[in-house]
Structure 1
Amino acid sequence: MDKHVYELLNDQINKEFYSAYLYMSFADYYEEEGLSGFANWYMIQAAEERDHALIFRKYLLDNSCPIKLLAIDQPDKTFASHLEPLEASLEHEKYVTSLINDIYGAAHDVKDYRTMKFLDWFIEEQLEEEANAEDMITKMKLFGGDAKALYDLDKDFAARAYSVPTPLAAK
């Protein structure tokens, strides 16, 4: 595997674990605010991000590449409203999309078609992640100012259940 592609893939493991930490911090914020449904949503997001890190790890191992685990930064965001974590989530998902695109571009440059194929699932996943984040922002803007509507929205998010990502299920 090309050294640069390898480094980007290995670094993505760290970025995915950071995403899990970040989303756990969002869940903590919502728990403290009494919105356990939103907290549930973000704990599931955290689990998905952890799983994404494990998918990248497995891909590198399957390609006989060593794993170099890096320190995970502490999330440093604070929030003054229920909307702010949702907006931070969208911003973060756009950042992750740019990381995936960078890896794809590097793989394309060296004709690493296997890595490009591997990343196809993540490209689709990022489309879904950004759409979900935008939907949550829209709903909070529409309903977040009304206590009853916010309660109903929180109940909706409490119903979200974790499911194993496709690449992990296939292994």
Structure 2
Amino acid sequence: MKVSNEILQLLHEQIAMEANASSYYLSVASWCKVTGYEGAACFFRAHSAEEREHMLKIIQYLNELKIHVKIPSIEEPPQNMESLEQVCKIALDNEQNVTKSINKIIDTAQKENDHRTNVFLEWFVNEQIEEEDLFETIMQKFDVIGRDNLALHEIDKILDKLKNKKDA
């Protein structure tokens, strides 16, 4: 086997984490759309697709190693969304948890001298730096612009622009 059972287990957990993040962001996009946050809906829909791509990247890595991947069931995302700020805070927390998970896999790969997996995960490290920075910046907007209806409208427009910037 080209990866240890421990790393394989951690990568399967990461696949599930990415799948659940994709599901959460899609649920948030739906909530945003019906709540009137068009820009945020587009932003979270794009983010959902991005998380799915992360999952597929790990699956492809394991498949290239001739390892059949167990595709996980996804958890039902929370449905009790109260505010745009709340869903963005949960997204930041989620991205921080993903970073911890990636770091744990890297630590294990380094401990086991699994250079292949370590190199593969470098892309994810850089991606997580961007993701955390992105959601930290979004959270700052609530403090800088505010939380009233006009401020939320402006944050919604910013999220739409952030989605477009990420697509470029």
TM-score, with structure 1 as normaliser: 0.88
Q: Distance in 1 between matches of 2:87 and 2:145?
A: 16
> Displacement of 1:71 after TM fit?
1.0
> Displacement of 1:139 after TM fit?
0.7
* Identical amino acids, percent of aligned pairs: 31
Q: How many residues align?
A: 164
Q: Distance in 1 between matches of 2:79 and 2:121?
A: 29
User: Matches of residues 69-88 of structure 1 in structure 2 within 5 Å?
Assistant: 69-88=71-90
Bigger proportion of residues as helix: 2
- Which residue of the partner structure matches residue 22 of structure 2? 20
Letter in 2 for 1:50: R
Aligned mate of 2:143, from 141, 144, 147: 141
Unmatched segments (≥5 aa) in structure 1: 165-171
- Corresponding residue SS for 2:73: coil
Unmatched segments (≥5 aa) in structure 2: none
Letter in 2 for 1:3: N
1:71-114: CA deviation from partner (whole Å, max 9, x where unpaired): 11111252222210111011111111111011111111110001
Q: Which moved more, 1:4-13 or 1:92-101?
A: 4-13
- Which residue of the partner structure matches residue 7 of structure 1? 9
- Alpha-carbon RMSD across the aligned residues, in angstroms, is 1.7
Q: Distance in 2 between matches of 1:149 and 1:71?
A: 38
Letter in 2 for 1:70: P
1:23-71: CA deviation from partner (whole Å, max 9, x where unpaired): 1111122112200101111111101000000000000011111111121
Contact 1:83–1:141, Cα closer than 8 Å, also in 2: no
| Cα 1:144–1:39 shift into 2, 3 Å | farther
Contact 1:104–1:116, Cα closer than 8 Å, also in 2: yes
